[in-house]
Amino acid sequence: MSTELIRCAGRILAEAWSAGKSVDFPSGLLPSDRDTAYAVQDEMARLLADDPANRVAGWKVGATSPGVQRAEGYDGPIPGRVFASTIHLNGASVPLTRCREARVEAEVAFRFMAAPGRTHGRFVQEDLAPIVAAAPAFDITGTRYAPNSRANWDSRQNMLAGIADNGNGGAVVIGDFSSSWAGLDLMQLAVELRVNAGDTVPNLRGQSRGDPFQALVWTVNQAYERGFALAAGDIVLTGSLTEPQPLQAGDNVECQMPGLGSLRCHLSRA
């Protein structure tokens, strides 16, 4: 895919993001591999950076577990940026402007208390654990692609399109951060997620649950390998611990994460 086509794809997605709309995406602009998909995402972010509200405040990652990757036909995780304008605090009313076909996922977010520093190759757990705090988070996903654009895409095309579209980003809600998370078994964390006070949403378990801390390590390494760095205050969302749930304006979402705290938000149309 030529540089010109990458720029064109990034511009279409950036304009759709800014306008809060979905677009009929030309099939000729679909990335053919991960490197191209990352390049389109980078171009989208470069164009959006003209607005200071779109300062990159961290990263998010989806499809972090082998089970989800097999079920969706993906060959690995789907990373994206977190823009400052998309971050909402506990109890917020969250507009669905950039969350078309919105779904909510309950996740663990990590915040860096100091910038990651390394004296060897890739980051490992021991590099990051002492400098991060953890909090409950909602990843409210969205898409810039119109339904008819996606109707005939196969699983690989969906994966690459999702990467290009900022990891299917929309909005995030983040609770209070705690530094005393290290004793928690995040793989066994029983998350109580409810939409409109309904039944508890099923947790992802076994091969379908990605390890949040391993997802953090992967995401940080992936960002640095692509030439980006993280700073103190940056956040990383680490993939869903629950089955994604569809949302619409007027919904109320709440969850409890034992040892990490509670989180809630209201979804508004704009």
The more confident residue out of 117 and 237 is 237
CA dist 224 and 265 (Å) reads 32
88-138 pLDDT, tens digit per residue, is 999 999 999 989 999 999 999 999 999 998 767 899 999 999 999 999 999
Contact (Cβ atoms closer than 8 angstroms) between residue 209 and residue 258: no
**Going along 175-260, which residue ranges are E strands?**
192-195, 235-240, 245-246, 252-257
Residue 269's pLDDT band, with cuts at 50, 70 and 90, is: confident
The domain locations on the chain are 56-268
Is the four-CA dihedral 226, 150, 14, 18 of positive or negative sign? Answer: negative
The predicted pLDDT at position 119 comes to: 62
Pairing state of beta strands 261-268 and 252-257? antiparallel
In CATH terms, the fold of domain 56-268 is: Fumarylacetoacetate hydrolase; domain 2 (3.90.850)
3-19 pLDDT, tens digit per residue, is 999 999 999 999 999 99
